[in-house]
Structure 1
Amino acid sequence: MTAGATPGGVLTFGETMGLFRDPQPGMLALSRSVQLGMGGAESNVAIALKRLGTPVTWVGRVGRDSLGDLIQRELAAEGVNAIITVDEDAPTGLMIKERRMATATRVWYYRAGSAGSRLEPSDIPADVIRQASLLHVTGITPALSESAAQATRHAMSLARDAGVLVSSDLNYRSRLWNAEAARQSYRDLIALADIVFAGEDEAEIAVGRADSVAETARLLGELGPRQVIIKLGDRGCFALVDGVSYDQVAFTVTVEDTVGAGDGFVAGYLSEVHRGSPVTLRLQTAVSVGAFACTVAGDWEGMPLRSELGLLAATEPVIR
């Protein structure tokens, strides 16, 4: 893969896994065929950013196996600049998705001892950080292992020292750690970030229960970030940016699969940050990309091209 970051682009890193899923709702135990793919919060963001025209680099580890090969091929096909360490001693992680009902998806992870969990500070060269305009991390990576947690703190500290904007999505995963274990790590990430994304439940882990979304955002902002965005799902989002509050409603779409919607939301916002767009446009693009992600089964397959963003407001079902 390529050896350096795209200058002036977004840099992100984390674990991407192979993915087995049944595209049809029902019990996975009764399925006679599944689809093979890949997924990971940070690579989902990277693909969405690239489709929106934002230069992006993803850093990570995969095993020397067919799932690792798949991940490398998919990222290359999507035009994501990837800096990948192939681990000779650990396998690529795996997740399995069961769409038990059209409105409910269950996910199982097989990532203990995986190549991705062995990410360490030396996997992220300092020059890669310094070439970027924005570093994006998630709260998933520090939950994978102590070395991955060190890599996250190392990258964020390097970015801050180099004057690179830092973004963090809390992205809580209860199968990796409990809320008590996540709390201090989240507070550390938030303090090092300029932009923070969180769902209401994730924010509560970091700052406790608040009387309102606005109060939650204020409490997060007191920890350091100047831009706090609370993801509210089908209710849109609330943002507190440089002391100014913003509300953004969501688009109504026919939902096929909500997995990846939050990653699409983050990518939409960050793409507009990279373009220097005003806050209102950042939020509009965020909810647009998040909505697109819900319309297709898969973690990243539904992410839109920038030229497609207007389709959500189209009145004709067929465009000729």
Structure 2
Amino acid sequence: MDVVTLGETMVLFHPAADGPLRYVHQFEKTIGGAESNVAIGLARLGAKVSWISRLGDDEFGLYVRNFIRGEGVDTSGVVFDPRHPTAVFFKERQPGRETRVYYYRKGSAASFMTPDDLDETLIAQARFLHLTGITPALSASCLATVERAIALARRHGLTITFDPNIRLKLWTAGQARETLTALAARCDIVLPGLEEGELLTGERTPEGIAQRLLTGETKAVVIKLGERGAFYATADGQEYVPGFPVAQVVDPIGAGDGFAAGLLFGLIRGWSYREAVRLGNRIGAYAVTVKGDVEGYPYWSQIAPDEEKPEIFR
């Protein structure tokens, strides 16, 4: 197994028409969840990846599990909860405005995840553990689950990547800063967006953010800069890596998870940080050209006919 990840995935409803949701009468059903987005992005590139979660023992839970499993992701670590439902969320599109998202996740099955839901054997088989800051925001038991996953990963020598993915609808900025900076310091690679880095550190530049986050166990910080690409810093150096131009942004949600998938895939293959970040930028650019969280993620055959030559991404 290359990567194991854990977190909540919800059923996502896309409106069939633009405008306020009160006037929309038809929706398309798919899924969305930061960690499963990364898992699917990795699986399409050819990585072996496992996703751990808790789903409602209901039709939506079965749909989520089947969708993710159908993308080639191992779902043997999924627990079905007969008492709590699978969460849902809706997108709202209005021309000229940023896409809005409405979540209905309080009391969801995933928010009741506990450390007992973790299969140590599954984690021990992997090379990387990927976590986000969404899961610890869901509940105290979810935070305990993330902390246990980090401890197990350390025990078995995994590299831990952490995307803060701050959701201020789930907790306050102060709570997020305190919890996530502590978690980040226990992870090998930290992947904030620029605004997330500012919230966590108080710094305003990628260089300043990276310097503050390169502490504890953290060996590398990669800061996502949207259309400008990304900035990475390690003890050996730092560099800005330009992004890929996109003719039209259809749906920006899921781009950051696509970036994480590309970065992880490059690191799995032993590429340099520059090459891995470059691939992350490329996957993120693909993601924004299609409606949906994961629908735009490419397959390896689409982007790298010669997989032994990462220099094609330079």
Letter in 1 for 2:93: R
Q: 1:316 — aligned with what?
A: none
Q: 2:93 — aligned with what?
A: 99
Name structure 1 gaps, 5 residues minimum.
1-6, 312-320
Distance in 1 separating the partners of 2:275 and 2:188: 18
Letter in 1 for 2:89: M
In the alignment, does 2:53 pair up with 1:60?
Answer: yes
Q: 2:134 — aligned with what?
A: 140
TM-score, scaled to structure 1? 0.92
Q: Contact (CA 8 Å) 1:124, 1:155: kept in 2 or not?
A: yes
In the alignment, does 2:220 pair up with 1:227?
Answer: yes
Number of aligned residues = 303
Distance in 2 separating the partners of 1:73 and 1:126: 23
Q: 1:275 — aligned with what?
A: 269
Letter in 1 for 2:215: E
Distance in 2 separating the partners of 1:61 and 1:194: 26
> Quick one: percent identity of the two aligned structures?
40
Distance in 2 separating the partners of 1:150 and 1:217: 26
Deviation at 1:213? 1.3
Q: 2:173 — aligned with what?
A: 179
Q: 2:256 — aligned with what?
A: 262
Distance in 2 separating the partners of 1:135 and 1:46: 11
User: Mean alpha-carbon deviation: is it higher for 239-248 or for 100-109?
Assistant: 100-109
Q: Contact (CA 8 Å) 1:228, 1:241: kept in 2 or not?
A: yes
Q: Deviations over 1:190-218 (max 9, x none)?
A: 111001000111112221124x2111111
Deviation at 1:174? 1.1
After superposition, residues 120-269 of structure 1 pair within 5 angstroms as 120-210=114-204, 212-253=205-246, 254-269=248-263
Q: Deviations over 1:153-193 (max 9, x none)?
A: 00011111221110000000011011101111111211110
Letter in 2 for 1:123: D
Q: Contact (CA 8 Å) 1:21, 1:97: kept in 2 or not?
A: yes
Distance in 1 separating the partners of 2:29 and 2:54: 19
Q: Contact (CA 8 Å) 2:163, 2:190: kept in 1 or not?
A: yes
Q: 1:29 — aligned with what?
A: 22
Q: 1:69 — aligned with what?
A: 62
Q: Deviations over 1:197-246 (max 9, x none)?
A: 00111112221124x21111111113431110000111111000233101
Distance 1:147 1:257, change over 3 A: same
Letter in 2 for 1:70: Y
Q: Contact (CA 8 Å) 1:25, 1:100: kept in 2 or not?
A: yes
Distance 1:201 1:37, change over 3 A: same
Deviation at 1:27? 1.9
Deviation at 1:101? 2.5
Deviation at 1:23? 4.8
Q: 2:10 — aligned with what?
A: 17
Distance in 2 separating the partners of 1:234 and 1:24: 27
Q: Contact (CA 8 Å) 2:16, 2:26: kept in 1 or not?
A: no
Q: Deviations over 1:265-291 (max 9, x none)?
A: 000000111111112210110000000
TM-score, scaled to structure 2? 0.93
Q: Deviations over 1:60-83 (max 9, x none)?
A: 011111111111111121010012
Distance in 1 separating the partners of 2:31 and 2:96: 21
Distance in 2 separating the partners of 1:42 and 1:68: 16
Residue from 71, 79, 85 that aligns with 2:79: 85
Q: Deviations over 1:66-107 (max 9, x none)?
A: 111111111121010012111000000111111123551101
Q: Contact (CA 8 Å) 2:185, 2:213: kept in 1 or not?
A: no
User: Mean alpha-carbon deviation: is it higher for 65-74 or for 20-29?
Assistant: 20-29
In the alignment, does 2:291 pair up with 1:297?
Answer: yes
Q: Contact (CA 8 Å) 1:23, 1:99: kept in 2 or not?
A: no
Distance in 2 separating the partners of 1:156 and 1:51: 26
SS, match of residue 104 in structure 1: coil
Q: Contact (CA 8 Å) 1:10, 1:56: kept in 2 or not?
A: yes
Distance 1:125 1:32, change over 3 A: same
Q: Contact (CA 8 Å) 2:254, 2:292: kept in 1 or not?
A: yes
Q: What root-mean-square deviation, in Å, do the aligned CA atoms of Structure 1 and Structure 2 show?
A: 1.4
Distance 1:122 1:292, change over 3 A: same
Deviation at 1:310? 5.8
